[in-house]
Homo-oligomer: A and B are copies of this chain.
């Protein structure tokens, strides 16, 4: 077990507040609030567990900068291709491990629930996030966000931010 947070200036508390804000922007559909949670030169990646465990570079979705995430959001808000629905994210406990003075890795499970407005809610994805968060000018930012989902079946919902 890890008590190594002492070597970093990033507190567990601030990491928990960061994710509240992160997931809130997505759940409440305030998409333009989502990219500011990333650093400019971030890596955002959604990948199946099989590819991840084999170390394959293949990803379902990948973006290599905050600007690419901003583009995604612009695209999403312009095209509403599918039936009205809501996504809601249920993160599990955060496993925070210090990497340096200004960098922590944060792993946690994530369950994503989809509700079509006239249907019963259902699970669309179950998986684990492998994130790295850095402290930059007094603010936490995602340097790496990798979501590894358990299924091989790729749901349409993947075009939506995770």
Contacts and interface: CB of A to CB of B under 8 A. Distances in A.
Interface string A112-132: 010111111111111110000
B20 A127 contact: no
A50 interface: yes
A9 interface: no
A162 to B, nearest CB: 14
Interface residues of A, number: 46
A152 B93 contact: no
A31 to B, nearest CB: 15
B151 A93 contact: no
Contacts of A18: 1
Interface string A17-44: 1111101100100000000000000000
A121 B95 contact: no
A108 to B, nearest CB: 9
A2 to B, nearest CB: 7
Q: Please name the 10 residue pairs, one residue from A and one from B, whose CB atoms are nearest each other, closest first.
A: A115-B150, A121-B126, A86-B150, A113-B126, A117-B152, A121-B123, A1-B17, A20-B95, A88-B126, A115-B151
24 contacts: A1-B18, A2-B17, A19-B93, A20-B93, A23-B92, A27-B128, A86-B150, A88-B109, A88-B126, A88-B128, A88-B150, A90-B90, A91-B92, A91-B93, A111-B111, A111-B113, A115-B150, A116-B151, A117-B151, A117-B152, A119-B151, A119-B153, A121-B123, A121-B150
